A and B are shown apart, each in its own frame.
Chain A
């Protein structure tokens, strides 16, 4: 056997999904090959130089809590850090970082290179090899055969991709990296339903051509906790972004060039995301909106390139100049790279189990944008789950399936595999039912034990977790302390809280809306030596106790349905009482449990009752 061609796991693609998948599998002891068309695409931030944001920031925290890499790599390379939604409630606090896209790539590549069991290979995967039941490896376009027990497809936007700038198109991937021309055929042969999605990116411009004095400064937030639970602080949170707006002139230019926009001429056929519209789409759909925001973000510390967020477009290059020049501060713009739209092949994710393994072929996993998602964080999350589950499959262990009640990752994968998606899927906090529990501050509480069980949480990470857990326990004990009225009267009066004549526990004081844990800390000299993160978590848990209890109760009920398993071999056509639509959907999705079944559109509560009866008759589902 040749060491270069025999693997446990082959990961196709080295983007954010591929990196997490490969690291997870290799760290779980699997000999893992990462195959990418170009190794310079490892961890490449093809769109904006930013990680996190609403819901996505929570996902990064979850990846970290499970033992993934994204949070660690973000902390290493970030140049600005902010907490979005401060003042809107802890359920929606979401961290977001601006990162140096070049060091993000090189740090990630370095991490992969240094990981034992992990091999990197520049090659285009042309075909997935398999027998009737399972995958056996891949064949490269260059003609080499690589054997493996499992294959994770994390092809991103590279499958048959094509970029579009006006009338000019080019059959390449993001930023001109070569695309993957052969694999789609292999996917079709294996029975995948292949569709075509579209996304886009704005121009990159030279910093010296921008008059930042005409723009609004967007600095980072001070005192931000790092993304990774492993880190105490981050260093480089000190660079600014800038905000400007489109003008009436911008909109006029765009409108008078609608006829040249590939988006409207029919040249673009892929389905684009509604939440990430190009500027021509925004002007078209929201004609009465007078201006649109433009954020200018640094691409890195060793480059003068600036990313122009909000200006994604596929207009002809010359029109792009006119558009950009109409924006205050960009009159003298030097465009370095054009904005472009990109179309690519992806699959219908309902073909996958919640483990992300293909239902028709054992050992084949799909993760990231190939599954119809959008975003680095969504991709990384799937990669992590696919990588862990490739290892679990090899070891004959139960796959990791996260629930809607324990993580955004659970919501993400459940949505994808239960409902599918008709456009690139982006995570949003409004997609989660139990938002107050799926917070960014408690991802470790929710997931680190699970990660530990699956073997990806290192001793170091676990020790950090246990320490924080102990801290929160001690803080909670301190909060039980009674304070006499004379000792809180002063504080309450200063904070505008009604003073009462009974002694109060510190915890009860904290429940008052104007009293923070910091107030208690300062007033009574408490909580010395505890980490800010532990204090924050306890504070939120106390202040939102009622809501949290409510969600927990809902989850308990939710889990009753989730725990009733539906065996894979059920033939729904044979269950009398099910409506035809329900039979078809159930046969297609093959839900893992009653809860998942109930979330399939077209399966009614009455159908669920029929399933319950069926399960009981056959003594299944226990």
Chain B
């Protein structure tokens, strides 16, 4: 973990509230604030109303800064008081992260305060509470559920880098062995593979995308189970052509609706059935695509006549099973019965969708990066690997230095350190020594 960078975090609890506070600490934080905040206070300790101009958003906010050493951490610090809610604070944080900050580690503001000699009994009192609160939040966000799979992915990347480093290091530590030492070409190839995989993982970081673009929800089901009616009810007005004739929806339709602080993008799809109609066939293909690309799938059953349909989709973790036509037949409380016609339980469905997003269960691939700290670590890893590529013509010790930095950035996610792993790998893979 580097202690010299500007760190940022949302320091109010995640959830709904009147305001949310986003803060930065470190040398350079005031400059970053100046570049993003219109009407920056002229003096330290002065609260000013102005505008936070973020990426794809702009919002009224208050800003105050503190000059080193007279701040909580003892460093230059800036606080933004944003409008409450999940989306605004996150968008602001994301802007900061893209403008030279990195996300603060667990308890890092406190740690810096301590390292800079700023801790006193008064602020210590609250810190244990914060630590507790933070872990509760982490649990709520489904962090633990995700970490298993994520650790796997990260370990896979680290494993590749460990291999690569072991190949480089064995050349440095055992220069006189009868080995085929690694070539620059091999280093390049390995780097580009790991970089691609890191990028792929980063691409799944749809939290930002969800904040910006909303969550994609595909509505699928057999023909004429009431998908289009449900869409209309969900968004509150007639959008889709609804008829009793099977296969009315021949194209995918999409419509957005903001529920609480998240934008839902509903995608109505053509019913899945075999058909000879060319136009409808195209529609069905599009439906399949929509399912693939969706963050959440609403699989609609005709509550009147349920049979084992679409087992594959039903098993997908991103699927929510919905039984329509509750007005005709109610399936009890064990399943989600709604009525597109009467609106019964439609609000509940929205809440179910919302909870699923909050739990981090949305997934368009097996693993998805949702944690901004992870995004930050992956980004830094990628940057280090890029630099390693840039210095490929330099000597091996320099290349190694950059790759190690990449490894360490990944290690911040899993809590492992490179040195031992690399040394172990050398002995596993190479026959070295006198």
Q: Which residues of A contact B (CB under 8 A)?
A: 48, 54-55, 84-85, 87-92, 202, 245, 273-277, 282, 285-286, 289, 291-293, 295, 309-310, 312, 419, 428-431, 433, 435-436, 513, 544, 547, 550-551, 553-554, 556-557, 560-561, 564, 577, 599, 604-606, 608-610, 612-613, 615-617, 622
Q: How far is the CB of A142 from chain B (nearest CB, A)?
A: 37
Contact B175 A606 (CB under 8 A): no
Q: Which residues of B contact A613 (CB under 8 A)?
A: 110, 114, 119, 124, 127-128, 131
Q: How far is the CB of A242 from chain B (nearest CB, A)?
A: 13
Contact A90 B2 (CB under 8 A): no
Q: Which residues of B contact A277 (CB under 8 A)?
A: 431, 433
Contact with A along B90-122 (1 / 0, CB 8 A): 000000000000000111001100110101110
Q: How far is the CB of B193 from chain A (nearest CB, A)?
A: 22
Q: Which residues of A contact B292 (CB under 8 A)?
A: none
Counting from the closest, the 8 A-B pairs by CB-CB distance are A89-B395, A89-B397, A616-B119, A609-B107, A91-B397, A274-B427, A286-B431, A430-B169
Contact A309 B419 (CB under 8 A): no
Taken together as a complex, chains A and B put the C-alpha atoms of A556 and B169 apart, in Å, by 25
Contact A88 B395 (CB under 8 A): yes
Contact A88 B175 (CB under 8 A): yes
Q: Can you offer 13 A-B residue contacts whose CB atoms are under 8 A?
A: A48-B434, A84-B175, A90-B395, A274-B433, A275-B432, A293-B177, A547-B401, A561-B115, A606-B131, A608-B111, A612-B119, A613-B119, A613-B127
Judged by a CB distance under 8 angstroms, whether B1 is at the interface is: yes
Q: A55-B173, A293-B177 are in contact. Are A90 and B397 (CB under 8 A)?
A: yes
Taken together as a complex, chains A and B put the C-alpha atoms of A430 and B107 apart, in Å, by 30
Instruction: Report B162-217 residues with CB < 8 Å from chain A CB.
Output: 165, 169, 171-178
Judged by a CB distance under 8 angstroms, whether B309 is at the interface is: no
Q: Which residues of A contact B365 (CB under 8 A)?
A: none
Judged by a CB distance under 8 angstroms, whether B422 is at the interface is: yes
Contact A605 B114 (CB under 8 A): no
Q: Which residues of B contact A88 (CB under 8 A)?
A: 171-172, 175, 395-397
Q: A54-B174, A293-B176 are in contact. Are A431 and B396 (CB under 8 A)?
A: no
Q: Select from chain B the residue with minimum beta-carbon distance to A312.
A: B434
Q: Which residues of B contact A285 (CB under 8 A)?
A: 431
Count of A-B contacts with CB under 8 A?
Answer: 141
Q: A610-B131, A612-B114, A616-B124 are in contact. Are A273 and B173 (CB under 8 A)?
A: no
Contact A605 B423 (CB under 8 A): no
Q: Which residues of A contact B171 (CB under 8 A)?
A: 88
Taken together as a complex, chains A and B put the C-alpha atoms of A343 and B130 apart, in Å, by 53
Contact B114 A616 (CB under 8 A): yes
Contact B169 A616 (CB under 8 A): no
Q: A54-B173, A604-B415 are in contact. Are A431 and B395 (CB under 8 A)?
A: no
**Which of the residues B115, B127, B178 comes within 8 Å of A291, measured between beta carbons?**
B178
Q: Which residues of B contact A605 (CB under 8 A)?
A: 1, 105-107, 415
**Which of the residues B1, B4, B115, B423 comes within 8 Å of A430, measured between beta carbons?**
B423
Q: A293-B177, A547-B398 are in contact. Are A430 and B131 (CB under 8 A)?
A: no
Q: Select from chain A the residue with minimum beta-carbon distance to B135.
A: A606
Contact B2 A554 (CB under 8 A): yes
Contact A560 B1 (CB under 8 A): no
Instruction: Report B379-406 residues with CB < 8 Å from chain A CB.
Output: 393-398, 401
Taken together as a complex, chains A and B put the C-alpha atoms of A608 and B422 apart, in Å, by 25
Q: Which residues of A contact B394 (CB under 8 A)?
A: 89, 513
Contact A577 B124 (CB under 8 A): no
Q: How far is the CB of A489 from chain B (nearest CB, A)?
A: 24
Q: Which residues of A contact B172 (CB under 8 A)?
A: 54, 85, 88, 92, 429-430
Contact A292 B178 (CB under 8 A): yes
Q: Which residues of A contact B397 (CB under 8 A)?
A: 88-92, 435-436
Taken together as a complex, chains A and B put the C-alpha atoms of A50 and B124 apart, in Å, by 56
Instruction: Report B139-155 residues with CB < 8 Å from chain A CB.
Output: none
**Which of the residues B396, B419, B426, B434 comes within 8 Å of A433, measured between beta carbons?**
B419
Taken together as a complex, chains A and B put the C-alpha atoms of A442 and B401 apart, in Å, by 19
**Which of the residues A292, A310, A428, A560 comes within 8 Å of B173, measured between beta carbons?**
A428
Q: Which residues of A contact B128 (CB under 8 A)?
A: 577, 613
Taken together as a complex, chains A and B put the C-alpha atoms of A553 and B2 apart, in Å, by 9
Q: Which residues of A contact B119 (CB under 8 A)?
A: 612-613, 616
Q: Which residues of A contact B423 (CB under 8 A)?
A: 428, 430-431
Judged by a CB distance under 8 angstroms, whether B316 is at the interface is: no
Taken together as a complex, chains A and B put the C-alpha atoms of A273 and B434 apart, in Å, by 11
Contact B396 A89 (CB under 8 A): yes
Q: How far is the CB of A202 from chain B (nearest CB, A)?
A: 8
Taken together as a complex, chains A and B put the C-alpha atoms of A606 and B128 apart, in Å, by 11
Q: How far is the CB of B398 from chain A (nearest CB, A)?
A: 6
Contact A544 B127 (CB under 8 A): no
Instruction: Report B2-35 residues with CB < 8 Å from chain A CB.
Output: 2-4
Contact B175 A85 (CB under 8 A): yes
Q: How far is the CB of B30 from chain A (nearest CB, A)?
A: 20
Contact B110 A609 (CB under 8 A): yes
Contact B124 A557 (CB under 8 A): no
Contact A617 B396 (CB under 8 A): no
Taken together as a complex, chains A and B put the C-alpha atoms of A282 and B114 apart, in Å, by 51
Q: Which residues of B contact A550 (CB under 8 A)?
A: 401
Q: Which residues of A contact B419 (CB under 8 A)?
A: 430-431, 433
A282, A310, A430, A609: residue with the most chain B Cβ atoms closer than 10 Å: A430
Taken together as a complex, chains A and B put the C-alpha atoms of A561 and B4 apart, in Å, by 13
Q: Select from chain B the residue with minimum beta-carbon distance to A423.
A: B427
Contact A557 B431 (CB under 8 A): no
Taken together as a complex, chains A and B put the C-alpha atoms of A87 and B105 apart, in Å, by 39
Q: Which residues of A contact B177 (CB under 8 A)?
A: 293
Question: Besides A560-B115, A605-B106, A612-B111, 11 other CB < 8 A contacts?
Answer: A88-B397, A90-B395, A277-B433, A295-B176, A436-B398, A577-B128, A604-B415, A606-B131, A609-B110, A615-B114, A616-B120
Q: Select from chain A the residue with minimum beta-carbon distance to B391.
A: A547
Q: Which residues of B contact A556 (CB under 8 A)?
A: 4
Contact B4 A553 (CB under 8 A): yes
Contact B175 A275 (CB under 8 A): no
Q: A557-B3, A613-B128, A616-B120 are in contact. Are A54 and B432 (CB under 8 A)?
A: no
Q: Which residues of A contact B4 (CB under 8 A)?
A: 553, 556-557
Q: Select from chain B the residue with minimum beta-carbon distance to A550.
A: B401
Taken together as a complex, chains A and B put the C-alpha atoms of A558 and B397 apart, in Å, by 21
Taken together as a complex, chains A and B put the C-alpha atoms of A608 and B112 apart, in Å, by 12
Q: Which residues of B contact A428 (CB under 8 A)?
A: 169, 173, 423, 426
Q: A54-B173, A277-B433, A616-B120 are in contact. Are A293 and B415 (CB under 8 A)?
A: no
Q: Which residues of B contact A577 (CB under 8 A)?
A: 128, 131
Q: Which residues of A contact B393 (CB under 8 A)?
A: 513
**Which of the residues A92, A273, A431, A599 comes within 8 Å of B433, measured between beta carbons?**
A273
**Which of the residues A429, A513, A551, A554 comes within 8 Å of B169, measured between beta carbons?**
A429
B114, B115, B171: residue with the most chain A Cβ atoms closer than 10 Å: B114
Contact A282 B431 (CB under 8 A): yes
Contact A429 B173 (CB under 8 A): yes
Q: Select from chain B the residue with minimum beta-carbon distance to A96.
A: B176
Q: Select from chain A the residue with minimum beta-carbon distance to B134.
A: A606
Q: How far is the CB of A201 from chain B (nearest CB, A)?
A: 9
Q: Select from chain B the residue with minimum beta-carbon distance to A622.
A: B117
Q: How far is the CB of B330 from chain A (nearest CB, A)?
A: 48
Contact A435 B433 (CB under 8 A): no
**Which of the residues B1, B110, B176 comes within 8 Å of A612, measured between beta carbons?**
B110
Contact A430 B395 (CB under 8 A): no
Contact A54 B175 (CB under 8 A): yes
Contact A84 B131 (CB under 8 A): no
Contact A276 B434 (CB under 8 A): yes
Contact B398 A544 (CB under 8 A): yes
Instruction: Report B407-434 residues with CB < 8 Å from chain A CB.
Output: 415, 417, 419-420, 422-423, 426-427, 431-434
Taken together as a complex, chains A and B put the C-alpha atoms of A85 and B173 apart, in Å, by 9
